[in-house]
Chains A and B, each alone.
Chain A
Amino acid sequence: GQNIDQPTEMTATEGAIVQINCTYQTSGFNGLFWYQQHAGEAPTFLSYNVLDGLEEKGRFSSFLSRSKGYSYLLLKELQMKDSASYLCAVINSNYQLIWGAGTKLIIKP
């Protein structure tokens, strides 16, 4: 089978840093996306990784290790508006997009 594992829920404090992990077992790999989804809204694209290493985009960074089947999303200087679910999705060898169930991030003042 193919699956994506993410923690169900995480809590962090405003202004702090949080790392959301994603591990995957898929039939092949052609890239990994991170999306943000606020409650009751559609997912919005955050980042894409296809090569190993860190991609930085403002307060958000995403890391990939293909050999370990592992990615993380790093959020710095957390703001209340960052309270949302964060979904990891992997493109497999058939170019199918396999989605994780998402990590609900709760930010406390």
Chain B
Amino acid sequence: DAMVIQNPRYQVTQFGKPVTLSCSQTLNHNVMYWYQQKSSQAPKLLFHYYDKDFNNEADTPDNFQSRRPNTSFCFLDIRSPGLGDAAMYLCATSREGGTGGSPLHFGNGTRLTVT
């Protein structure tokens, strides 16, 4: 089945220790997104790629970086995690970047704990 896969499902890191979250997709979608979601809150868009074009949200901290080496893979790097970065991180893909009713397909998420 075509899908979006995130690894790991749960990640524990120490305060200030860099961490990388990964996402892969077999849907061959053009657009890949990284969202941060805290409990009972709306998902917050961090950045997205339309093919290789990187789009950073204005309020995404510099502490968050992303890489998309090819169509299938996308990574989220948190350079110096703080306690406030503990959240669920959701990777999503879409065919057309939200136009024409193209829905987002989400991976299962990575729950990040910062100790």
The reply to whether chain A is a binding partner of chain B is: yes
Number of chain B residues whose Cβ lies closer than 8 Å to a Cβ of chain A: 19
Q: Bits for B27-56, please: 1 = Cβ < 8 Å to A, else 0.
A: 000000000000011110100000000000
**Interface residues on chain A, size class:** 20 to 34
Return B101 CB to nearest CB of chain A, in Å. Answer: 4
Contact present for A31 and B101 (CB under 8 Å)? yes
Contact present for A40 and B106 (CB under 8 Å)? no
Q: Number of residue pairs across A and B with beta carbons under 8 Å?
A: 51
Chain A residues with CB under 8 A of B109 = 40-42
Q: Which of B40, B42, B98, B108 contacts A95 (CB 8 A)?
A: B98
Contact present for A101 and B108 (CB under 8 Å)? no
Interface residues of chain B, those whose CB is within 8 Å of chain A, are 40-43, 45, 88, 90, 97-99, 101, 103-109, 111
Interface residues of chain A, those whose CB is within 8 Å of chain B, are 4, 8, 30-31, 33, 40-45, 48, 50, 85, 87, 91, 95-97, 99-102, 104
